Structure formats: C-alpha cells, structure tokens
Amino acid sequence: MKIPEGEYKVGTDEDYYVRSGVWSAPGCHGSGCGVILHVKDGKMIGIEGDEKNPITKGRLCARCLDMVEYQNHPDRILYPMKRNPADRGKDRWERISWDEAYDLIEENTKKVREKSGTNNAVLTLGGTGREATMFYPVISFADFQSANVAAPISGDSCYGPRCMVANYLFGSGYPEIDSAMFFPDSYDDPRYERPEYIIVWGSNPLVSNPAGYFGHQIVDLMKRGTKLIVVDPQVTWMGSRAEYRLCLRPGTDAALALGMLNVIIEEDIYDHGFVENWCFGLDELAERVKEYTPEEVEKITWVPADQIRAAARAFATAGGTGRNCSIFMGVAMEMQIDAISDIQAVLYLMAITGNIDVPGGNILGPRASFTGRWRYDQIKWVDPNDVAHRIGWEKVPMERSALSNVQSDSILPELELPDDERTVRMIWFNSCNALVCMPAEPQRWIESCLKMDFNVVQDLFMTPTAMALCDLFLPVATFPEHDGVVQVHYGRHTPYLAAEIKACEYGETKSDLQVAFELGKRMNPEAWKDWDSLEKFMDDQIAPTGLTFDELRHKGLHHQENFHYKKYELGELRDDGQPGFDTVTGMIELYSLQFEAWDEDPLPFHTPSPYSSEANPEYAEKYPLVLTTGGRKYSQFHSEWHQIKSLRQIDPWPVMTINPETAEKYNITEGDWVEVFNHLGTCRLKAHLALTIRPGMVHSTHGWWFPEQDGEAPNYFGAFKSNINTLLPNGTIGRLFTGAPYKSMMCDVRRVKGLDQD
C-alpha cells in the first residue's frame, strides 16, 4: 500500500490504511520504525513496513510483524479493573470505569499521604522501552508530587550511567555511532562517510535495537565495507562476521579497555591533534594505563594479549584507510561492578583516537532535549523537603543520581521497614513487571510489596506483578491506539522525531501520556494548566522543531535541521557558544575533575567482580560456574510477548547455554531441564549446548514467566520457576551507586527431570 507524501491516511471510513512510526506499547526502544497499518471495521487486520522511512526503509522486526496477533489477542485487557486488596493473588478482578479508577487513586493517595505525613508515600516504578520512560518521572514529580521514583534495576545499571559519565567527561548527551541517522538521504548524503571499524561493546544491537537505534543499520554498514570488533563473552552472530572477537571474562570490560588504551598510548598511535587541542589530562591517563599491559590484561580478561594489540591498533589506525571509527555501547557495560571505570575507559578510546563528532565516529549532541529534559524539570513540583528525604537520601547525594531517580538498591530496605517506620505505602507500577524483570532478589520484592496499602499497575496483559500485588489495573494503549511522539534515545541523542499515529480504538485503553495528563489534571492541575489537550501538549513538546504535532503527523518523520560534525569547533556544544566541550575545563576530561571533587578516583581502573574466583575464591569453589544473563532474543522484549504464539514458537522455553565440555561433566545433554542455583535462589532452564560459550561459563535468559500457567497465588504464572533474577543480589553495587553484577555472577547447575519435576 502506498501512502502519498504529506498524507498519513488513505481509504474509506471503514477500510483504511494509516502510516505511522513505532514506539510503544508494546515495549520497544522506539526507533520510529515506519509501518503501514490496515484497519477494517474498527479492527487492525494488517501491518507492513513503510519503504519511505529513511531508517527502516520498509523492513520490520518479528515483533512489529506480529502486531496483529498482539493487537487482537483475547487476553488483552481493555478496561480498567479493580480488586479488593484482600484478594491479591486471586483472579477476582472487576471491571470499572476510568472515573472510578481515578477516584480510587485519589482516595488512596490521600490516605497514604496522611498515614506517612508526606507525599513520598507514593513510589512510582518505571521500566524501559515504553514511551512511559518519558512519563513515569512526570507521574511521580508532577502528579503525585513525590520524590520517590525509580526504574528499579540494581545499581541503576541500565543506560543512565552511560549518559551520566558522558555528561561528566564530554559534557554532552549520549555518544551514538554515526550511521547517517541525521540525514534524510541516509548513507547517500555527501557529508557521510562510513566507519572503517565499529567496536560493538557489550551489546547485541541487531536483536535489541537499544535506546532507539535500529540495529540492522550496522549490517547496512558491514555491506558497505565496515568491519567489526565485537566485545562479548560469547561468540555472537555479529562476532562470527567480525575481524576481531574479544571474548572476555564477564565483568572485566574496564581492564580490556585499559589494555587497549595502553597499546594506543604506548605505541603512540593516538590522534595527537585532537588530544592536544581538545583533551585534558593525557599525562595522567598515560600514567594510569602503564600497568595495564596486554599481558597483564590477558590474565584478568582471558583475552589473548596479541588480540588486544591487534584490535587496538586496528581501531586506532583504521587500518590506515583514513576513515574514522566508532564504538557501539551496550547495557553489559553497566551490568558489572565498576560500571563507571568501564564506561569511562571506553569513552576514552573514542576520545584519544579523535573519533568524536566526525563522520563515522561517535556523534555528540545536547545532554537532553524535548521531553527528555522536560520530564526531569518536573521535580520542581516536589517539596524540597520531600526531595531531601527521598528513599536512600542518607547515602546517596542527589547530584550523583543518573536520572533524578532514587537509587534502586535503597528501595528494598525502605519497603522492608516495619509499618510504623516506613514511608512508602503505595506503589504505582507504571511500566515494570517487577517480579520477573529488573529488580534483583524478586523473592524479597513480592513479600515487601504485599505490605503496601494500595498498588496500581498499568499494563496490557495480566502479569505476575499485577496478579500478585495490585488492586487497580489500568489498560495501556498500543501504539496503533494512540498519538505520540517518538524521541530516539529519549532526547539524549535525537537525530529525528517521528509521529505515532492513532489508527484504531480498542476498549478504553489509554496511553502513558494520557494517563499522566488526566491524573495530573485531577491531582495537581497547576502542573498541567498550560495545556487543555494532549495535542496541545505535544505541540509544545516539539515546538523547537517549528512543527505542530499535526504537521509532524503529516510529515511522518522530521530530521533535526542544521546538523554539523565537529560541533566542538563551531561552539555548538556549549551554552555560552564558545568552541569546546561543556565541561569544567572546556575540554574532554581524560582525568575527571568532577570525580576528583567527589573524592573518587579521577581515572578508570579494574575491580574484580565481587562474585568471581578473583575476588572470592571460597564462593567460586562452592559455585564454580561463571554466570552471565540476559542475552536478548528476537522473539521477546524483556518479559513481554510470551503469550504471542508465533514468537513463543521461536523461543518456547527459558534457556541455559553451556559448552558441551562442561555439559558432559554435569551429565547434561541437549534439551535437558536443569536448575542453576547459588546462595540466593534457583532457576529452571532448558540446556542448549553451544561451542560459542567457553567452558566453565553458562548463560541464562531473563524475564521469563509462563502466561499459559495458573496465574493465581502461589504459582503466579510460574514467575519464580525460571527467574534468573532470584540468583542476583540486591545492594552489591559499584562506585557512585552504579553498576551491579547482572552479567557476572556465579552459580552451579544440576540436571532435573522437568520444569516442575526433580
């Protein structure tokens, strides 16, 4: 179906096609993928890729392609429901109206505020990948006027730390690889030059499409000649196509990056011009990396010294081609104990090779823009005294928080306080299936959340979290069911905006923005007084583009105008318009003055993972297998899509990947059910034998629950049967309260008869 330029809808009132850009719901990182939706008699019956989209050019992932099944699934919840708190864990939901839902919210908020004597009695929890990410802070700050908001992942080990460290060292937003996303003509723009090498560090972007980066753009670049260096404990498909595979020990990324910095500095193959003019602290960094020789780093990381040398040289010299290189960073960089050092060292690889803001390099922009900035400004609605006494305030200074959220590991200690000492009495689960995804030690979460007076959940299907804990269920609109703005990288690196366009209406679902807006109009109308409609709000949000939302709707996708490379030369990175970077020194800080001011080490260094043979040989004797977790799959988005037949068929069971040599020692064969365990918990998985994982290490999938099982207590859709988070510790975190060993734990394994049989 072809939709004319400047239009977004064709057909009759009963049978029409709508061109839209995708974000959420369902959960997705939102690249604004171009789709054409077919709606007939009010029902969505078809989806196909929009070839006019400059990024996706007609292609779609398996999840978008399965959207018709999702959209029309009989188990989707389309109306608000309430349940008596005494019936938590029972399938005793009663349909209500939105008015009654909002009444209940107001009533219960009032009660918990009175009981605790503060607005902080309400805790809002967000997840990832839904446009909710833009609005859950707003629900907390503007609507509930509570300082207690979080995306409850231990060590806040997702995305935020990369933004925080880039902020301090580069003074900028997120440094993403250049794949011509700023150009309407894409790779054909005369200004664009593809990178010679991309280091894909701790990410599987073809599968995960993280933070709004459409992963297969990297395949586009490979076909144009770009070579890969892949840093991953396992050999991935990208790794099989890479020039260099650095299969490191989980949790040793800082050491590897320091080893590469050692080679580049000692062999004098860094970009002298860029470093001398635009970087501060090379001498100090050079001194620090001296001890991280490739031979020393091999001992720490298990990556051979000659591989470290070869990869570092290739990246620094671009194979002598004169092209630039870039680094694609992933969440594995945060999911280790010293996320700060790891991220810092990788950013320094970009900096000392001069690959900053150049064609094919890592592109910089403002720290936050559009709704990305506005959402955090809303903290102005919270009483300063409440901000000062938010969860974890005794230990965590506000300015060290990556996202103005409370520090995630401080939440359990608060929730576990006795009733008369606790502040939080109500939890709003905005976009977080907390019992199966995100928090470590979910077995403690379910117990403590059950003590709350009132819990609300926003979701699309019944989940373990909703069934176990919540008293009010608010149905979320899918992306075909609401208007919205797609902001790549949540405003921290936004080459373009796209319009999600409402194509149909199902039941009484509402988008995350709509709920934030309506709730706000009731609870704190002052915060929303400038807007009498959602469209007016969206108009304002995108005003810097010069477009209204309706104009964006017609246009589909709008590129940021006036993009330049080397913005640091043009004065476009600093508020005062001067050349340079928005840091204390005006330069990229290879030695961080901000960290020094906080009495932290201004330079990166290696810290052994706390649960490793290096740091804890006794523990390693008891639980001898290195455990890494959470490799992404095409068939799921975290804990979502499990009930969708076509996708469940691709990955029907939670899997443990194990090397055949190790499997043999444990008498495990392909397809056997196994139980991995450590001192914290157990998790049942199906064994898959693979040569791509080294002996002595296992990988477990994450986010697993079983929608086809009994949802009532105590089974909760099997939420605790294959839940790898039960083996992960709360509160084992790194410097600046950042980083946690999600991907570098230890465990042992035994064969069992089945998911439910020993």
- The Cα 124–Cα 96 span in angstroms is 22
239 binds other proteins (CB under 8 A): yes
- Least separation in angstroms between residue 659's CB and other proteins is 12
Three-class SS state of 683? strand
79 interacts with other proteins by CB under 8 A: no
Does residue 597 interact with other proteins by CB under 8 A?
no
326 φ/ψ sector (left φ>0, alpha ψ -120 to 50, else beta): beta
Of 142-150, 234-242, 262-270, 675-683: span binding other proteins (CB under 8 A): 234-242
Interface of this chain with other proteins, residues 500 to 529, rule: CB under 8 A: none
CB of 49 to other proteins, least distance (A): 5
* Residue in this structure with the two tokens 């246009």, named with its chain if needed: 555
Which CB, 188 or 530, lies closer to other proteins?
Answer: 188
Kindly tell me which of 223 and 753 has the beta carbon lying closer to other proteins.
223
How many C-alpha atoms does 416 have within 13 Å on its Cβ side? 13
| Closest distance of CB 44 from other proteins, Å | 12
Site string for other proteins, 325-354 (x = CB under 8 A): ------------------------------
Residue among 96, 235, 615, 620 that touches other proteins (CB under 8 A): 235
Closest CB to other proteins among residues 246, 411: 246
Nearer to other proteins, 26 or 741 (CB): 26
Closest distance to other proteins from the beta carbon of 78 (Å): 23
Report in angstroms how near the CB of residue 52 gets to other proteins at its nearest.
12
Neighbour-count burial of 573, counting CB atoms closer than 10 A to its CB (0-12 exposed, 13-18 middle, 19+ buried) = buried
Closest CA to 475 of 200, 75, 147: 75
226 interacts with other proteins by CB under 8 A: no
Helix orientation angle between 253-266 and 305-317, rounded to the nearest 10 degrees: 60
Q: Of the two residues 52 and 400, which places its CB atom closer to other proteins in the complex?
A: 52
Strand partners, 589: 280
Q: Identify whether the C-beta of residue 180 lies closer than 8 Å to the C-beta of residue 193.
A: no
Site residues for other proteins, 165-224, by CB under 8 A, read: 206-207, 215-216, 219-220, 222-223
Cβ distance to other proteins smaller for residue 287 or 670: 670
Alpha-carbon Rg for the chain, nearest whole angstrom, is 25
240 lies in the site for other proteins, by CB under 8 A: yes
Number of residues that bind other proteins (CB under 8 A): 37
Task: Decide whether 50 or 512 has the Cβ nearer to other proteins.
Answer: 50
For 242-269, what is the HEC assignment?
A: CCEEECCCCCCHHHHHHHHHHHHHHCCC
* Interface pick for other proteins out of 37, 66, 255, 556 (rule CB under 8 A): 66
Nearer to other proteins, 30 or 152 (CB): 30
Amino acid symbol at 658: I
Residues 617-646 that bind other proteins (CB under 8 A): 634-635, 645-646
**Residue whose CB is less far from other proteins, 10 or 62:** 62
CA distance 165 to 45: 45
The stretch among 104-112, 237-245, 586-594, 703-711 that binds other proteins (CB under 8 A) is 237-245
The correct pick among 19, 82, 245, 684 for binding other proteins (CB under 8 A) is 245
CB 191 within 8 A of CB 559: no
Give, in degrees to the nearest 5, the angle at Cα 33 between 29 and 37.
120
- Residues 644-663 touching other proteins, rule: CB under 8 A, are 645-646, 649-650
Q: Which helix (H) or strand (E) holds 188?
A: none
**Got the DSSP string for 13-43?**
SSEEEEEEEE--SS------EEEEEEEETTE
Task: Name the residue nearer to other proteins (CB basis): 692 or 709.
Answer: 692
Report the nearest approach of other proteins to the CB of residue 483 (Å).
Answer: 25
Min separation Cβ 229 and other proteins, Å:
13
- For other proteins, the binding residue among 91, 103, 237, 529 (CB under 8 A) is 237
**Smallest distance, Å, CB 710 to other proteins?**
23
* Bond from prior residue into 339 cis (ω within 30 degrees of 0): no
**Residue closer to other proteins, measured from CB, 60 or 503:** 60
Nearer to other proteins, 69 or 572 (CB): 69
Q: How far is the CB of 67 from other proteins (least distance, A)?
A: 10
Q: Which positions from 6 through 65 interact with other proteins, judged by CB under 8 A?
A: 46-49, 51, 57-62, 65
> For other proteins, which is the closer residue by CB, 558 or 633?
633
Q: Is the distance from CB of 412 to CB of 102 less than 8 angstroms?
A: no
Measured from the CB atom, the residue of 443 and 692 that comes closer to other proteins is 692
The least CB distance from residue 418 to other proteins, in Å, is 50
- CB 2, min distance to other proteins, A: 9
In the window 248-277, what residues touch other proteins (CB under 8 A)?
none
Residues 6 or more apart whose CB falls under 8 angstroms from that of 308 comprise 246, 256, 259, 260, 263, 294, 297, 298, 301
- Distance of closest approach, residue 114 Cβ to other proteins, in angstroms: 52
Residue (181 or 446) nearer to other proteins, CB:
181
**In angstroms, rounded to a whole number, what is the distance separating the alpha carbons of residues 64 and 47?**
8
Site string for other proteins, 679-698 (x = CB under 8 A): -----------xxx------
CB of 504 to other proteins, least distance (A): 17
* Pick 570 or 650: Cβ nearer other proteins: 650
We find the least distance from the C-beta atom of residue 237 to other proteins, in angstroms, to be 6
List C-alpha distances in Å: 170 to 162, 165, 581: 11, 8, 6
CB of 565 to other proteins, least distance (A): 26
Among positions 3, 10, 68, 584, the unique one binding other proteins when judged by CB under 8 A: 68
SS3 497: strand
Shortest separation between residue 179's beta carbon and other proteins, angstroms: 14
DSSP class of 337: T
Rounded-to-integer distance, Cα 710 and Cα 464, Å:
10
Q: Of the candidates 286, 288, 295, 294, which has an alpha carbon nearest to the alpha carbon of residue 266? A: 286
Min separation Cβ 75 and other proteins, Å: 16
Cα 344 to its chain centre, rounded Å, is 19
* 632 CB burial (10 A radius; 0-12, 13-18, 19+): buried
3-state secondary structure (DSSP) of residue 686: strand
Contact 172, 582 (CB under 8 A): yes
Q: To which H or E segment does residue 701 belong? A: none
Q: Evaluate the omega torsion of the peptide bond into residue 714 and state whether it is cis, within 30 degrees of 0.
A: yes
Assign 3-class secondary structure to 292-313: CCHHHHHHHHCCCHHHHHHHHH
Binding site for other proteins (CB under 8 A): 46-49, 51, 57-62, 65-66, 68, 206-207, 215-216, 219-220, 222-223, 235, 237, 239-241, 245, 634-635, 645-646, 649-650, 690-692
